[in-house]
Amino acid sequence: MKTSSQTLGARGEQEACSFLLGEGHRILRRNWRAGHLELDVISLRGDTLHIVEVKTRTEGAPVPPEFNVNQDKRRHMVRAAQDFIHSDDAPSGIEEVQFDVLSVVFGDGGPVIEYYPAAFVPVYTGGSVNFR
């Protein structure tokens, strides 16, 4: 049985996918796993692969949902994306990979969606991943 937090997260991911479809994305995978790492939504728009982290909250949360995509989470997303790209699940012809964040806040007026395309860019220096 799902917890209320898991149910809210699933609702947020559904809203996120609907939004992305409206923006011309093709949803390839949801909740794709690589070991203990997970990618919420993987979509394709043109020849760009989008790795989308979805953060969902209810109205009145003390911190906006997108603030919870910290440096550790970004590193996990990059590692999982590398695994996805090298898996049989990845489409051919990918020209670019973009890391996006999408927040969904549920309130009395329905969901409010904030989309942050290219929210961060991984930079490889000295064998480790940093961000700009």
Who has greater pLDDT, 3 or 30? 30
Contact 20, 27 (CB under 8 A): yes
CATH code, domain with 28 = 3.40.1350.10
Contact 85, 97 (CB under 8 A): yes
Residue 8, domain extent: 4-131
* Dist. CA 89–CA 82, nearest whole Å: 12
* pTM for the structure as a whole: 0.91
Looking at the structure of the chain, the number of domains it has is 1
* Vertex 32 angle, CA 26 and 33, to 5°: 165
Residue 125 DSSP SS3: strand
Write down the pLDDT at residue 58.
92
pLDDT grade for 95, boundaries at 50, 70 and 90: confident
